[in-house]
Amino acid sequence: MNIETLLDALDVQENAARAQADDLRAQIGELQTRLREAETHLEHLAITRKTVTGLADRLPAVPPDLPEHPNYPRILAVFNEATGSLRAKDVCEALDHKLLPKNVEGTRAKLKRLVKLGILTEVDTGSFARKQ
């Protein structure tokens, strides 16, 4: 084997390795740019989160939508005037409903639904109050 042939073969391999290294450096440069952009985006999101959470306590609480029944606003009006907790029977009396079991149980069901919506809280078993 001739030394010139060997050197030519080494040149070909060296050129291929150099081209591959150049290609990889270009990919690394592109990835570093993309990484910087992603890190900047993360920083902006962190700043946004901090700003939003800082402002969240200043926003007025939005009450949940009441179910479609005319008694719900009336029930809430009763609790707005009350100084303590109320039972379903007390709410029926305030709404001028007859104290029949069906009226008391229907009112109790509405009160429990208001608890699930986060508007009222059940203080004791069967006793409800406006959530603070």
- Indicate the helix (H) or strand (E) that contains 99: none
The pLDDT confidence band at residue 91, using thresholds 50, 70 and 90, is very high
Average pLDDT, the chain: 91
CB atoms within 10 A of CB 88: 22
What's the pTM value of the predicted model, to 2 decimals?
Answer: 0.54
Rounded Cα gap, residues 7 and 38, in angstroms: 46
**DSSP conformation letters of 100-117:** -HHHHHHHHHHHHHHHHT
At 57 the pLDDT is: 75
At 84 the pLDDT is: 87
At 124 the pLDDT is: 83
The pLDDT confidence band at residue 122, using thresholds 50, 70 and 90, is very high
At 36 the pLDDT is: 97
- pLDDT digit string, tens, across residues 22-77: 999 999 999 999 999 999 999 999 999 999 888 887 777 666 778 888 889 999 99
At 32 the pLDDT is: 97
At 74 the pLDDT is: 92
Rounded Cα gap, residues 13 and 122, in angstroms: 81
At 126 the pLDDT is: 83
At 125 the pLDDT is: 82
